[in-house]
Structure 1
Amino acid sequence: MARRRTAFGAGALLLVCLTGCGGAPMTEPTPFEPAPAQPTPTRAPFQATTRGPIAPTGEPVAVPAARWDAIVADLAERGVTGTPELVSAHAVTWNNGALGCPSPGVSYTQAIVDGMRVVVEVDGTTYDYRFGTTDSPKLCTR
Structure 2
Amino acid sequence: MRKAILAGLLCVFASCAPRPLVPPSNGTIIPTPAFWESITPIGEILADPSGYQGREVTILAYYRGWDLLGEAGVGPPLTRSDVAVADPTGCIYIAPAGEEAMKDIPLRPFDREATETLLRLHGQVRRSPRGQPYILVTKGEVWNGLPARVLLRVRRTGGIAGMDHELMAMADGTLYFLDRKNRLHVRWKTTPDAVARTVEGLRPFLDQEVGTPVPDGFAYAVTVQEGEQIRKVIFHEGTLPGAADPALAPLREWLREAMERAPYPPPTPTAHPDAVRAAIRFLAMQLDLSPEAIRVIAWEPVDWPDAALGCPEPGKVYAQIITPGYVVFLEARGETFRVHTDRTGERACRP
TM-score, normalised via structure 1 length: 0.48
Higher relative contact order (Cα pairs below 8 Å, separated by 6+ residues): 1
Give the strand-richer structure, 1 or 2: 2
TM-score between both structures, scaled by the size of structure 2: 0.21
Determine which structure has more spread, i.e. the larger CA radius of gyration.
1
